[in-house]
């Protein structure tokens, strides 16, 4: 099975001093997607209960290789022995406790089975193994993505437009909100147990659980408002102006066309006029065709 992999080249000047890493979560998601698509087919359905274990094994390999790609590759290939119920092999062994069982609802895969043959192709895929060097540091971007999705978009919705200064201030408020609430504790019930939420993965058909955080308190808002009032109280409006960056942006074209907005009514009238012209041309052509047919008959 061919894996679609995007390559990045940072091995040439002036980037040789940089160590390039990719998001492990996205790689594991691609792995789960590839295995799930394969397991949908009847000859390979025995792979379905193993998807979560294989993805977890990939995470474990990335987090324990200590920056060494050879160690990551060695541990990654061990999944092929483990899935055959062989936990010790020449040159390596499994790191889990003894007496490990296969996943619930699954069974150990035989080495000559079709499911194992296709799994081996994925695990030993040359393109897949060639990108492993980007995951030796086990980096993730979930914190940045969480900030953009759950905080910044609340202050700067995409469906609205803002001036430069307004957008800049809204970004500052989003950062303050994020930093104030990033260490929130898990919400607990009266019995002291943490609140959790369970859901089923559509691809792997397995249950996963998430802990719920305590609600945001926004206790910093009164202090922030007080500081703003103290800074601006008594100062005339003439002392406030747009930032230099905002003034510089006003010299640019206000839109991509480089022309002023003619108004929606004018644009709508032009569009209806073009449609009417096309309609008239079609009618004339159709009548001419009918006349030509009448002459022939």
CA 50 from chain centre, in angstroms, equals 24
The kind and range of the H/E element at 207 are: strand 207-211
Answer left, alpha or beta for residue 99, where phi above 0 means left and psi between -120 and 50 means alpha.
left
DSSP label at 209?
Answer: E
**How much is the pTM?**
0.64
Give one DSSP letter per residue of 181-203, joined into a string.
HTTPPBPB-TTSPBPEEEEE-TT
What's phi and psi for 221, nearest 5 deg? -65, -50
From 100, 88, 86, select the one nearest 56 (Cα to Cα). 100
Spatial contact of 36 and 44, defined as CB atoms under 8 Å apart: no
Q: Which pLDDT value is given to residue 284?
A: 64
Spatial contact of 57 and 79, defined as CB atoms under 8 Å apart: yes
Measure the CA–CA gap between 240 and 153, rounded to whole angstroms: 28
Give one DSSP letter per residue of 30-42, joined into a string.
HHHHHHHHHHTSG
Cis ω on the peptide bond leading into residue 14 (within 30° of 0)? yes
Average pLDDT of each block of 10 consecutive residues along the chain (297 residues)? 49 72 92 93 91 93 93 94 88 81 82 93 94 92 87 91 91 93 86 82 74 88 91 83 84 75 87 83 62 48
Tell me if residue 242 falls in helix, strand or coil: coil
Spatial contact of 200 and 52, defined as CB atoms under 8 Å apart: no
Q: Where exactly are the structural domains of the chain?
A: 24-135, 142-235
The count of residues in the chain is: 297
């Amino acid at each position: 099975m061919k894996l679609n992999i995007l390559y990045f080249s940072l091995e040439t000047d002036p980037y040789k001093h940089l160590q390039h890493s990719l998001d492990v979560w996205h790689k594991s998601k691609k792995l789960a997607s590839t295995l799930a698509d394969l397991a949908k087919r009847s000859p390979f359905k025995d792979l379905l209960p193993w998807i979560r274990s294989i993805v977890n094994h990939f995470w474990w390999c990335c987090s324990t290789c200590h920056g060494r790609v050879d160690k990551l590759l060695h541990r990654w290939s061990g999944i092929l022995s483990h899935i055959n119920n062989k936990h010790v092999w020449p040159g390596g062994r499994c790191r889990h406790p003894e007496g490990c069982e296969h996943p619930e609802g699954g069974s150990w895969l035989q080495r000559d089975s079709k499911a194992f043959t296709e799994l081996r192709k994925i695990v030993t895929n040359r393109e897949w193994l060639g990108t492993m060097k980007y995951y030796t540091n086990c980096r993730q971007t979930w914190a940045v993505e969480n900030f953009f999705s759950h905080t910044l978009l609340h202050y700067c919705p995409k469906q609205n437009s803002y001036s430069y200064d307004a957008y800049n201030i809204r970004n500052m408020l989003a950062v303050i909100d994020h930093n104030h609430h990033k260490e929130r504790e898990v919400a607990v019930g009266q019995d002291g147990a943490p609140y959790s939420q369970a859901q089923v993965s559509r691809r792997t058909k397995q249950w996963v659980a998430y802990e719920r955080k305590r609600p945001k308190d926004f206790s910093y808002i009164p202090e922030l408002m007080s500081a703003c009032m103290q800074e601006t109280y008594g100062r005339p409006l003439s002392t406030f102006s747009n930032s230099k960056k905002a003034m510089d942006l006003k010299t640019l074209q206000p839109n991509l066309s480089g022309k002023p907005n003619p108004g929606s009514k004018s644009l709508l009238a032009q569009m209806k006029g073009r449609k009417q012209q096309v309609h008239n041309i079609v009618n004339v052509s159709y009548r001419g065709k009918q006349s030509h047919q009448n002459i022939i008959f």
